[in-house]
Amino acid sequence: MNINPLKLRLSEMRGLRGAFSFYRDRIERFDKDLKAFLQVLQSSAEETERSFPFSLKDNILALGTRTTCSSRILENYESPYDATVTCKLKESGGHLLGKTNLDEFAMGSSTENSAFFTSRNPWDLSRIPGGSSGGSAAAVAAGLTPFALGSDTGGSVRQPASMCGIVGFKPTYGLVSRYGLVAFASSLDQIGPMTRCVQDAADVMSIISGHDVKDSTTVKSSLSFNIDLKGEVKGLKMAVPEEMLDYRGLEDGVKASFMDAVEELKRAGAVIEKISIPSVKYAVATYYLIAPAEASSNLSRFDGIRFGPRHEATNYDELVSRNRDMGFGREVKRRILLGTFTLSAAYYDAYYRKALRTRKLMANELKAVLTEFDFILNPSSPVVAPVIGEISDPLSYYLMDIYTIPANVAGLPSISVPIAPVDGLPTGMLLTGRRFSDVKLLEAASFIEGFSPAYEDGLTRIAERWVE
């Protein structure tokens, strides 16, 4: 092949002869170390010169593939239909390369909770790629796929994108259909693209966004993502919440990289002010009451009778108990128990209802800030990617999503863009906008690419070990 697909944007890849064999060859050569993929599909006659390759997080259905959610309880589940996003990509000329690894049922921040194996960070194989869309992030960052879709419930697209040094975009809730996405927390889940540049994210959004009669939470919107991003920030007003900047878990190097990027935005004419959003200090607590409660309801269907392997038992209760005990991993069990507890009659008012009130308060405070400002700025993650196995306390992982959770709680669009690395490890800047400001958000994010050292020739850099 005369043209290297790793140097091309998605719009330039259509019609490129040999793109599919190029990426399959890279997967065969490199994924044994990276462990990003759970399944790799064989070539087919549908891979024409007009088609383009893509990958899916393995909680998104695609006919002819298994959809395991990285769980033993679904390890042999065959997708009976295509998710809406899968259909749209296929209709636009996309052909699926494979399904990527994740934390089981998207519950985690590292892919260490996958029932099968832990994916690796392309910049340091001893470290996590983030999660829960860690396999998707690693595959894109190492150049094993031109782009992938992930799901974002509390940061699961943006946090691994930050840790792997790529772009991760969570659209406004309701812009992308969730039909065919295995539900974790239905009021928070949103599918989003993971790419090597913001323009590619916009191009993917132009395909997958839109109202869907199969998903009643989708909205009819006049937004068009068929745009060529110009990357202008002059005159835009941006807010930096002091509660987030003063968070004691924020690493010094990550903070310094973020503040350097803030200064670059100021030099370009953006108006940036420190503000206070008092409720965001409760974001993690609020999320970990609402999300497990919804997960407790959504995962009740997985009893080992309708889905998954069935283990021998003498009665129905024992059957379901054994099936779930064998099929679910530790983190999934933890969240189901937490959610069931908070929904119980004795504690519903004390915990769940209070969390809903706090969610409303937080959404209103964010809305008020975004009425005055165009965007809210944060680091995407308070830390660079930790070493695999380094963290054993679940709360430490929960707090890694402290910057990304507010956008899910309020249904806002949010994007992570790579900025200067810290000790060779990627970091990201997080921009969050008001509902349906997605295009404006992408425009601002594309400006950051112009000064970020994480880019080369308009695309995020690939670590040397993955470059031919």
The catalytic residue positions are 57, 132, 156
Among 86, 107, 123, residue whose Cα is nearest residue 291: 107
Handedness of CA 285, 287, 293, 296 (dihedral sign): negative
Distance CA 209, CA 220 (A): 10
Distance CA 157, CA 171 (A): 11
Residue 319 contacts residue 304 (beta carbons within 8 Å): yes
Distance CA 121, CA 109 (A): 13
Residue 111 contacts residue 144 (beta carbons within 8 Å): no
Interaxial angle between packed helices 330-343 and 283-298, expressed in degrees from 0 to 180 and rounded to the nearest 10: 100
Of the chain, the end-to-end C-alpha distance in Å amounts to 13
Query: Helix, strand or coil for residue 61?
Result: coil
Distance CA 143, CA 320 (A): 42
User: Residue holding tokens 């990003």?
Assistant: 36
- Residue 10 corresponds to which tokens in the numbers above? 């998605």
Distance CA 116, CA 30 (A): 18
Among 84, 27, 81, 83, residue whose Cα is nearest residue 53: 27
User: H/E element holding 18?
Assistant: none
Distance CA 241, CA 374 (A): 13
Distance CA 438, CA 414 (A): 8
User: Residue holding tokens 């956008």?
Assistant: 407
Residue type, 348: Y
User: Residue holding tokens 């128990």?
Assistant: 337
Phi/psi of residue 429, each to 5°? -105, 135
